[in-house]
Chain A
């Protein structure tokens, strides 16, 4: 084969590839086209990666978190984030921390007044209770250590945690006033904060689809009653209503039941918007010729709704759902923050933010604001993803 031959061969192959690509584009289903458009939306792509990461972390949370939910340490209350060092003296020994704890310093009156004066000159206040760091025994970070037992997905039992230290504690994000590790609690709280909106959305999806399609398909007085109920629910501010409903949750019920109840409460109000959309779509679709044809052919009502109508606006519904998730996240966080949502021993980001309820606490322990970052990040990512999906689902764009 000469060089020219090879060149033509390559060109032919290229053309074939392009043709196949074009064919694929024309044969692509609506969903494939949407996925393609979504992939081109830069912010949506980044958001998807971030959300995927957050959900993965939540899924393997028990493995990634060095401590369990119930672990506490009376000697390590309100510790700032533990600094991680790499060099010990001049020697590189890998990541390590110094064990540290609160101690009451023993000193004479003269020493104390001198220390107070020095602190005042630096603009600080002196206290005899101080964090004492034991710099003589560096604790190397150990990988895959045995710790408290847990189950992933309720199936795989294990007690191996990704990292830990032998002596002392490691608090990547600091600790709270009971000496609990904020890093572990953010990961484990994320399991709740990230899944409640999902479960709630799923539930309001079912409710909205069901009630909306009944309202739109049958019309008449059924429609009228449902529309009035929706109007009433829309005329009530959601947060006070959520508060009122969750005030009815009896104290001291098991965490799983509490989780389910809060999900139900969130979705009890969330379905109205979706039901409206579904109803509107039904109203416009039910007069189409193909529906009439199906009805004349003797197809049952249920089958017409599920097989002929719903696929026509499914993409629209999914976009609507994604855009509804952020408000559920904020709702759950707000309720837990007020002490009306998730309660100890379970935790969520809202529960963690309770620590940030008064200003003096934030000033002395600024790390208690870290959960805020995760709430905002998640809400932003869902907003961008929803935006991208809306653009992708719009066939005119």
Chain B
């Protein structure tokens, strides 16, 4: 098992490297760079530009050189100094800009993932065991509808709903007293985890971001369970008089969970998709809106770092799901020892 994990970890290093190249290539695609247009804008307004600072920034990140040299400078900074570049828009290094919103983004993503599995898997099992019952039809319908409604429209509908019912639209992730606390520094993000009002506030974003993924999990869980329930070993177990509970939870579920677990990184990237656009619509303090603004303003290091962090987290999710899968399914462990993927 240890060797299997070790080998898996090693294969992720080249993936991360290729990923950073792809990301950097994409974010430098727009013609021109932020600094030049920014300086031109300042000069046009008749403001004084600190030429030496601009020059040092240009020099540091190689902004007037070809993109692959810029890439190497960027990569070198990350690997040696943990310096992800400079956010021209916020006028400070990228990492603090992201660190403000990253913990909350990860918390929201994890909570959404929990919601996804805690709701999707049991309903999927229920639907499969009670196939063609009224409940199954209802869940199938809801499942399809949930997959068909784009996240952001769901967000709009829920905001509209809360406006109609409570008179105030749902905007932002925090209530006003939490926001004040955060700004004054009396509250840290980890204090929020113990507050009931914070979780009450979180419910809507979690539902909005998680629904389509949950419906996907539900559908695949149902299909897998139905497949497993039709297998001969189930017939055999029934003939032996094994209880139905045991057949479902001990035999079928373990096999049926396989694709759900291997789809973990897919669920994570689904959550990032959803949280990006929903956060923009609902004005949540997550990385999504910062990515959007950075892309619009050509703040390339900020945009690139956000993409890189998302990709890194998804790769981490893949690693986690591989380990879980190996634990769940002994065949994978053993084939790993024989030296094949």
Instruction: Give the interface of A toward B (CB within 8 A).
Output: 228-229, 231-241, 243-245, 247-248, 250, 326, 330, 333-334, 337-338, 340, 353, 356-357, 359-360, 362-363, 369, 372, 375-376, 379-380, 383-384
B residues within 8 A CB of A237? 269-270, 272-273, 276, 310-311, 314
Q: Is the CB of A383 within 8 A of B307?
A: no
Give the contact-size bracket for chain B: 35 or more
Question: How far is it, in angstroms, between the C-alpha of A300 and the C-alpha of B280 when the chains are bound?
Answer: 53
Type the 1/0 row for B301-341, where 1 means its CB is closer than 8 Å to any CB of A: 00100110011001100100000000000000000000000
Question: How far is it, in angstroms, between the C-alpha of A238 and the C-alpha of B280 when the chains are bound?
Answer: 16
Asked whether B149 is an interface residue with its Cβ less than 8 Å from the other chain, the reply is yes
Asked whether B113 is an interface residue with its Cβ less than 8 Å from the other chain, the reply is no
Would you list 14 pairs from A and B whose C-beta atoms are within 8 A, ordered by A residue?
Answer: A234-B265, A234-B266, A235-B265, A236-B269, A237-B270, A240-B307, A248-B30, A334-B152, A338-B280, A338-B292, A359-B156, A376-B148, A379-B148, A380-B144
Contacting residue for A232 out of B19, B164, B276, B288, CB 8 A? B19
Type the 1/0 row for B136-172, where 1 means its CB is closer than 8 Å to any CB of A: 0000000011011111110011011001100001000
CB-nearest residue of chain A relative to B171?
Answer: A359
Q: Is the CB of B280 within 8 A of A232?
A: no
A residues within 8 A CB of B276? 237, 239-240, 243
Minimum CB–CB distance for B298 against chain A, Å:
8
Contacts A229-B18, A235-B315, A376-B149 given; 8 further ones with Cβ under 8 A?
Answer: A228-B18, A232-B19, A235-B311, A237-B310, A239-B276, A248-B26, A375-B153, A380-B145
Question: How far is it, in angstroms, between the C-alpha of A245 and the C-alpha of B270 when the chains are bound?
Answer: 18
Asked whether B27 is an interface residue with its Cβ less than 8 Å from the other chain, the reply is yes
Interface residues of B in 19-78 (CB under 8 A from A): 19, 22-23, 26-27, 29-31
Minimum CB–CB distance for B85 against chain A, Å:
15
CB-nearest residue of chain A relative to B149?
Answer: A376
Q: A334-B150, A353-B153, A359-B163 are in contact. Are A244 and B18 (CB under 8 A)?
A: no
CB-nearest residue of chain B relative to A387?
Answer: B144
Question: How far is it, in angstroms, between the C-alpha of A239 and the C-alpha of B274 when the chains are bound?
Answer: 8
Question: How far is it, in angstroms, between the C-alpha of A233 and the C-alpha of B22 when the chains are bound?
Answer: 9
A residues within 8 A CB of B303? 244, 247
CB-nearest residue of chain B relative to A248?
Answer: B29
The 7 A-B residue pairs whose C-beta atoms are closest, nearest first, are A248-B29, A237-B272, A239-B273, A379-B148, A247-B295, A359-B169, A237-B269
CB-nearest residue of chain A relative to B18?
Answer: A232
Question: How far is it, in angstroms, between the C-alpha of A192 and the C-alpha of B295 when the chains are bound?
Answer: 24
Question: How far is it, in angstroms, between the C-alpha of A356 and the C-alpha of B154 when the chains are bound?
Answer: 12
Q: Is the CB of A244 within 8 A of B27?
A: yes
Which of A240, A243, A330, A338 has the largest count of B CB atoms less than 10 A from its CB? Answer: A240
Q: Is the CB of A338 within 8 A of B277?
A: yes
A residues within 8 A CB of B288? 240
B residues within 8 A CB of A229? 18
Question: How far is it, in angstroms, between the C-alpha of A242 and the C-alpha of B42 when the chains are bound?
Answer: 31
Question: How far is it, in angstroms, between the C-alpha of A338 and the C-alpha of B307 when the chains are bound?
Answer: 18
A residues within 8 A CB of B307? 236, 240-241, 244
A residues within 8 A CB of B26? 241, 244-245, 248
A residues within 8 A CB of B30? 247-248, 250
Interface residues of B in 248-290 (CB under 8 A from A): 265-266, 269-270, 272-273, 276-277, 280-281, 288
How many A-B contacts at CB < 8 Å in the complex?
127
Q: Is the CB of B22 within 8 A of A232?
A: yes
CB-nearest residue of chain A relative to B159?
Answer: A359
Asked whether B296 is an interface residue with its Cβ less than 8 Å from the other chain, the reply is yes
A residues within 8 A CB of B163? 359, 363
Question: How far is it, in angstroms, between the C-alpha of A340 and the C-alpha of B288 when the chains are bound?
Answer: 14
Question: How far is it, in angstroms, between the C-alpha of A333 and the C-alpha of B151 when the chains are bound?
Answer: 11
Question: How far is it, in angstroms, between the C-alpha of A344 and the C-alpha of B22 when the chains are bound?
Answer: 30
Question: How far is it, in angstroms, between the C-alpha of A305 and the C-alpha of B26 when the chains are bound?
Answer: 33
Asked whether B14 is an interface residue with its Cβ less than 8 Å from the other chain, the reply is yes
Interface residues of B in 146-205 (CB under 8 A from A): 147-153, 156-157, 159-160, 163-164, 169
Asked whether B291 is an interface residue with its Cβ less than 8 Å from the other chain, the reply is yes
A residues within 8 A CB of B110? none
Contacting residue for B292 out of A243, A359, A363, A376, CB 8 A? A243
Question: How far is it, in angstroms, between the C-alpha of A67 and the C-alpha of B156 when the chains are bound?
Answer: 28
Question: How far is it, in angstroms, between the C-alpha of A243 and the C-alpha of B296 when the chains are bound?
Answer: 9
Question: How far is it, in angstroms, between the C-alpha of A290 and the C-alpha of B269 when the chains are bound?
Answer: 41
Q: Is the CB of A235 within 8 A of B318?
A: yes
Minimum CB–CB distance for B128 against chain A, Å:
16
Q: Is the CB of A245 within 8 A of B31?
A: no
Question: How far is it, in angstroms, between the C-alpha of A39 and the C-alpha of B273 when the chains are bound?
Answer: 35
Type the 1/0 row for B200-214, where 1 means its CB is closer than 8 Å to any CB of A: 000000000000000
Question: How far is it, in angstroms, between the C-alpha of A353 and the C-alpha of B154 when the chains are bound?
Answer: 12
Q: Is the CB of B311 within 8 A of A236?
A: yes
Q: Is the CB of B277 within 8 A of A239?
A: yes
Question: How far is it, in angstroms, between the C-alpha of A255 and the C-alpha of B228 when the chains are bound?
Answer: 50
